[in-house]
Structure 1
Amino acid sequence: MSARCIRTPGTHSSTISSVTNLTTETQVAPTRPQQTGAEVFAPVLPVDLRVTRLAKSFAGTLIFKNVSFGLSRGEAVAIVGANGTGKSTLLRCLMGLIPADAGAIDVLGTDVRGAKSSDLRAMRAQMGLVSQKHNLVPRLSVLSNVVQGLLGQSPGIRHWSQSFAPAASRAEAMAALTKVGLAHLASRRADRLSGGQSQRVAIARALVGQPKILIADEPTASLDPAAGEDVMDLFFDLARQEGVTVIFISHNIDHALRYGDRVLGLADGGMPLDARAKNLSAQDLRGLYD
């Protein structure tokens, strides 16, 4: 597989630095046992998401084009890039919240661009979202906010409050709160939480429906550094325990390298970087912001 390239700082802004050892393949090459001639293949991980030559523009202004990548089950992928390069727009296209102009998107077996509304709802029910603004309902309790993560899981039931939610749903919400260490605050109103606590509740809400894919859009942007580290550690500990595929946007280069298995970089209307985090340095990523 050929290496993709990024611009890196230097005497000339056009200097190109190759990123090597890139891989997005989900199948491991065969190995031969020493005692027999039989070939043994490692299990092939499911591909939860595949994007092919995706393009998007607004009012005639190109945001990105020819964006292609795939995500294997359980993989954590960071999306980085300067403001205005289309990171959040890309996530919204993946979820079918806005239409792409061209290309193909397959999420959990759903053709996003050609899917009916009912199919998109079923797809989103298998996805959890954590945003930089936790979007909790201030007047509701912590438990009620987490229960809302089950909206759409049970046809005909509206999980607006734990008072009306089935007992099983309340139990699932309490289990999710236990995972994030906030079960003792289940009855507290959401508007009485700290920023870090609010984001933990948002993580519990995203996880309660047992999603296959978690999407995080700048989950620590509104937090101080210490709280941000705690939230990221918790988020990825839980995601890996559950075997969930993660896509997260971050302006924090250290976070992208520490928590991502892969890093995708958007710049200049495209995606010039797709590399394993272990093969990258902070300097490589800074080149995307020049």
Structure 2
Amino acid sequence: MTAQAQAKPTLVIAGAEPSASVLPADIRVSGLAKTFGGAKIFADVSFALPRGEATAIVGANGTGKSTLLRCLIGLIQADAGSVQVLGTEVVGGTSPALRAMRAQMGLVSQKHNLVPRLSVLSNVVQGLLGKHPGIRHWSQSFAPATSREAAITALEKVGLAHLASRRADRLSGGQSQRVAIARALVGRPNILIADEPTASLDPAAGEDVMELFFSLARQEGVTVIFISHNIDHALEYGDRILGLADGTMQLDTRASTLSVKDLRGLYD
């Protein structure tokens, strides 16, 4: 281990933080473990995320950050431990319970995952499918007026209402990500998850998207979890930092107590 890695800040187990036992927690994780093909990804991961805070998950490639997010929303089943999201037990949870939980969440990823041939408005309307499954929310043409109005309002928040009728495959990368943010927010979620939301953007567009995403998240008062390889972004936009390394949660502390040098130790 390098001297820099040895200089990591004192580790704090999330469940032991005074704030975790006082503030309402939207997500509680205890003793979480996951392996793939016999290889340990992580083990004994525990933390609790208070409502309304932004948490950055950082660490080198291959440390299990995206796998952890997928375990949180039940897309991957953990091998051991407990995950409670908005009062729902995710590990071993039933399909109806998991669908109801996911309907209260919004997702923004580095791949915008827009439907290219559909309009911007239709793509945003699809953000309501979790709460209103069925053909009516596959396209704005079939959607109820209230859903179209909600989608337009979401596009206004990201400054793209004037492009509502444009096909998604005619957008720039930054515009596509803004539409993805509108789609994530249209259902007024309690939790927003962002998996490297600026990885496919140039630095200027990435800064614009991060500013927009977090200003909207603060206005909506939602709990945010995001993965970022940009240490500056993690420190600027996160209230709290979770660091994965060597198959365990190596770091869990307030972002205000950390520096860029502190976080670089996780990448050694």
Task: State the TM-score, normalizing by the size of structure 1.
Answer: 0.88
Match of 1:138 in 2: 116
Partner of 1:250: 228
Q: Which residue does 1:18 correspond to in 2?
A: 9
Opposite residue 134 of structure 1, the aligned amino acid is H
1:1-290 equivalences under 5 Å are 9-10=2-3, 15-19=6-10, 24-26=17-19, 44-154=22-132, 156=134, 158-290=136-268
- Note if contact 1:19-1:280 (Cα within 8 Å) is conserved in structure 2: no
3-state SS in 2 of match to 1:221: coil
Residues 77 and 92 in structure 2, CA contact (< 8 A), matched pair in contact too: no
User: 2-side partners of 1:83 and 1:63: how far apart?
Assistant: 12
Structure 2 partner of 1:33:
none
Deviation at 1:133, TM superposition (A): 0.4
Tell me, yes or no, if the aligned pair for 1:261 and 1:277 is still in contact at 8 Å.
yes
| Distance in 2, Cα, partners of 1:120 & 1:17 | 37
Aligned residues: 266
- Unpaired stretches in structure 2, ≥5 consecutive residues: none
Post-superposition shift, 1:157?
5.1
Q: Deviations over 1:206-239 (max 9, x none)?
A: 0000000000000000000000000000000000
Gap regions ≥5 residues in structure 1: 1-6, 29-43
Q: Assess if the C-alpha contact under 8 Å between 2:136 and 2:144 holds in 1.
A: no
Q: Which amino acid aligns with 2:145?
A: A
CA shift, 1:153, in A, is 1.3
Q: Give the letter aligned to residue 111 of structure 2.
A: K
Deviations 1:3-58 (A, max 9, x none): xxxx7x527x6x24333788743379xxxxxxxxxxxxxxx532100000100010
Query: How many percent identity over aligned positions?
Result: 76
Distance in 1 between the 2:154 and 2:57 partners? 26
State which drifts further: 153-162 or 131-140.
153-162
Equivalent-residue separation in structure 1 for 2:41 and 2:241 (angstroms): 19
**CA distance in structure 2 between the aligned counterparts of 1:22 and 1:258, rounded to whole angstroms:** 22
User: What amino acid is aligned across from residue 26 of structure 1 in structure 2?
Assistant: S
Larger Rg: 1
Q: Report if the CA contact (8 A) 1:76-1:245 is conserved.
A: yes
